[in-house]
Structure 1
Amino acid sequence: MRGSSSVARGDPLRMIFAGYRGALGWVALFSGVMNLLMLAGSIYMLQVYDRVLASHSVPTLVALTLMLFAVFLVQGLIDVTRQRLLTRIGAAIDRRLAPDIFALTAEIPVRAGARHDALQPSRDLDAIRAFMSGLGPTAFFDLPWVSLFLVLCFFLHIWIGIAVLIAAVLLILVTLLTDRATRAPTRDLAQEAASRGRLTEAVRRNAETIAAMGMRQALGARYQAVHGRYLAASGRQADAGAGYGTVSRVFRMFMQSAVLGLGAYLVIRGEATGGVMIAASILMGRALAPIELCVTHWKGFVAARQALARLKTIFGAVGVAREPMALPAPKRMLTAEQIFAGPPGAQDAIISGISFSLLAGQALGVIGPSASGKSTLARVLTGAWKPLRGSLRLDGAELDQWSDEARGSFIGYLPQDIGLFDGTVAENIARFRLDAEADAIVEAARTAGADEVIRRLPDGYDTRIGEGGITLSGGQRQRIALARALYGSPFLVVLDEPNANLDAEGEAAVTGAIQAVRQAGGIAIVIAHRPSAIAAVDMVAVMKEGRIAAFGPKDEVLNKVLAPRAGTRAP
């Protein structure tokens, strides 16, 4: 995987937090000041009960109340600042990781295949940002100050300190039980959410097929089953977290009243004052509040922790690629040597022992029966799939010696499924490059024989085509995709069934495009079933069961291999 991000992909924890230690330090400082200011309520009650009530001094009461108001005002401002800072840290983490997550989304299907959900990294980043922007982190920053409030409780009276200590230990035990109880449900919920998302995306992508073939009810039943599992997992997670959260909240409320009762008992025995009784209740509430907050937000913490673990796994699975030294664009030849390749993540090869060489100005037609490995070869030749073994070289250099962006500038590819994007015709032809020039876009369209077709559209090159080019006909999509493959005059152009949706005029345009690539000193490779698609090639490879059964000049190969069987002549 390549990119300009400064993120250290190998260690997600360092990747997430390394650049924000300073900001998190400020959050810790604000938390410390807030917790110190929390003592104001206890001090105020001590002074009111032990001095103001005894002296009946109204001015003292007013002064103490005004000071308490000022302290709470500052505390509120610091709390708002702390929460806003955490929100911005979460957003900054998202912005910093977004390019890498997008790269993962694009690379998982072609590097790891079906073993990993390409959309999961995006959901994981959302979980991390949501936790960092919420109240969960504040509980962890407040936890160290529990010891301060606990010590102050011991200063008030040893039995008060012991009672608060027992309460804190029991709440910590509840926290550990919460972690144990929510870990599996949270993991299951993420898996079921991913399954539901994949099914929903498949339904959206194939909506026309579903409507045309009456599949809505059957798929609806499948969706209900998947959604039911998702709801069950969500319920298990909610029940686990809510149960322990309720226990912690009820227990803290009981202990706060119990400490108040203990204080009253000590006052009756003459071992404490009324102020100590009230202050002890307030201090205990502050001591236990961060622990209870941890229990309440433990679900988000577990989700973020599992998200980090998944990101670490997927970064390791997809791999970390260094940015290679810039090489000049190839101009001379393409060489394939003993290529073995299959789908990403698979160990079994679909094509085996593929070897051939082409020089600049040549064009190769690849023919053969269905499932013979032609489309797999096309994907390998463009760098979309990496070979399991063997080497694929341009001017003697392996394809991965160029960065993805550099390699894309001299490779053009027209896949079977075309793959247009929501945007204008011009943006699709220019591959959405921000520095695209209008002349280059028009030139690519003319080479593909698509210029007149595009000009007849409602807004010409500025016509928005919708996702997948839904507003266009099959032939229009094919022409525009061919223009995209030819954009920038690439050295290597690979066309997989380029005439699948074209009429005679469109097929002539494909032939002209192949001739233009050859005349410009490039190499064209055409995957075809119909002989008309290879009219402009000079070399032919016949594939059978994943291997090249014949390779050589077009007329020689077609006459020797195909003509005797089909009774036809070479085109």
Structure 2
Amino acid sequence: RGLILSAGFFSIFVNTLMLTGPMFMLQVYDRVLGSRSEETLAALFGLMAFLFLMMGVLDWARGRILTRVGARFQSHLDRRVFSAILKKSALGQPNRETENQLKDLESVQRFFGSNVFGAMLDLPWTPLFLVGIMVFHPFLGALAVIGGSISIVLTILNQILTKNPVVIATAAGYRADRYAEHLQNEAETIRSLGMQETSFNRWHRIHRNALKQAVRANDLSGSFLIGTKTFRLFLQSAMLGVGAYVVLKGEASPGVMIASSILLGRALAPVDLVVGQWSMVQRARRGWEKQVELLADVPPDETRIDLPRPKAHLEVEQLTVVPPGARQASLRLLNFEVKPGQAVGVVGPSG
């Protein structure tokens, strides 16, 4: 949790520095081109380069933090998940869903360490950037808010409509993989009984169903991806058109037109990245749900009390030994003490 909060803290500065590009373009169009001052251009260029350098360093640091978030998440749960899988299998419970739990844990780890999670940390800044465009001109702000809202609605619809197809496709893929692994383990028996053709036909049927479900899920998510991307490009061009209109009306400067378009692109960039990598988000969410289900079904072992290490000291009193089938004792009423490093043996004729 501490690392995630640190990444969120870095996101504040990274997203604030995202304003460098729009502000630089605004100053170039309104100040430099109007005054034709090379000194002003050089000063603005140096400041812009420094701010972008700082943004890159902070974004790099945030990426390293997120990578360690994923690694720490897996290191904290891998022993617990592995023990739960073994315990569930030892109790004779069905392990059809548990055999891929380690892969699910890895999918959650990859999500935490990916740039998709970083983009999700940037999503709260999207409304702020959209509202900030309204400072330039109300028309530009209204277009940005309406367009951004439509993009967010498309993202929510993507989440709702692709959830079940992705889950079905993932489950079908797991079944195909499990059956293929089963055939590999029983390859000798299958060949000796001449069941190659039957086994292939059954595997092909399962695999074809998995492929069909995967194509359906990819088609649906791809449609949302293309739709969101196309709408974003249209929105940026529309922003330039509306900006040109307010410039012609004398209500804004040319710099405002360019800066608004750039700021809109910055605002919608996290949305595009999340939608484009939505399959990773779905796998991570499904993996998280399965981890929660597994750990809830198999509680952790109770804490054991560490007993003191037994001392290597043996005291024997009144020892009597009667061999099997005999009536008389071979050893009677013996008392002795064995200290660490000593050995005791009985030597003599048997019987």
Which AA in structure 1 matches 2:42?
V
> What is the CA–CA distance in structure 1 between the aligned matches of 2:304 and 2:41, rounded to whole Å?
73
Which AA in structure 1 matches 2:262?
I
| Structure with the largest fraction of helix | 2
Partner residue in 2 for 1:290? 270
Partner residue in 2 for 1:141? 121
Structure 2 residue 88 is matched with structure 1 residue 108: yes
> What is the CA–CA distance in structure 1 between the aligned matches of 2:144 and 2:108, rounded to whole Å?
33
| Structure 2: unaligned runs, 5 residues or longer | 309-351
Structure 2 residue 279 is matched with structure 1 residue 299: yes
> What is the CA–CA distance in structure 2 between the aligned matches of 1:316 and 1:153, rounded to whole Å?
47
Partner residue in 2 for 1:266? 246
Change (3 A) 1:214 1:80: farther
| TM-score, length basis structure 2 | 0.83
Identify which range, 45-54 or 286-295, moves more after superposition: 286-295
Partner residue in 2 for 1:38? 18
Task: Select the structure with the greater relative contact order (CA < 8 A; seq sep ≥ 6).
Answer: 2
Q: Paired residue for 2:209, among 229, 246, 256?
A: 229
Shift of 1:112: 5.5
Shift of 1:294: 2.4
| Structure 1: unaligned runs, 5 residues or longer | 1-20, 329-571
| Runs of 4+ residues deviating >6 angstroms | none
Alignment of 1:373-384 (within 5 A): none
Shift of 1:210: 2.3
Change (3 A) 1:170 1:112: farther
Shift of 1:307: 1.4
SS at match of 1:119: coil
Partner residue in 1 for 2:222? 242
Alignment of 1:86-235 (within 5 A): 86-111=66-91, 113-114=93-94, 116-235=96-215
Q: Deviations over 1:253-296 (max 9, x none)?
A: 11011101100000000000001111110111112222222222
Partner residue in 1 for 2:295? 315
Q: How many residues are paired up?
A: 310
Q: Provide the aligned C-alpha RMSD in A.
A: 2.1
> What is the CA–CA distance in structure 2 between the aligned matches of 1:116 and 1:199, rounded to whole Å?
11
Structure 2 residue 26 is matched with structure 1 residue 51: no
Q: Is the 8 A contact 1:108 1:116 kept in 2?
A: no
> What is the CA–CA distance in structure 1 between the aligned matches of 2:144 and 2:263, rounded to whole Å?
9
Which AA in structure 2 matches 1:75?
M
Q: Deviations over 1:487-506 (max 9, x none)?
A: xxxxxxxxxxxxxxxxxxxx
Shift of 1:97: 1.4
Change (3 A) 1:138 1:164: same
| Structure with the largest fraction of strand | 1
> What is the CA–CA distance in structure 1 between the aligned matches of 2:304 and 2:54, rounded to whole Å?
53
> What is the CA–CA distance in structure 2 between the aligned matches of 1:128 and 1:112, rounded to whole Å?
27
Q: Paired residue for 2:233, among 253, 260, 271?
A: 253
> What is the CA–CA distance in structure 2 between the aligned matches of 1:326 and 1:112, rounded to whole Å?
29
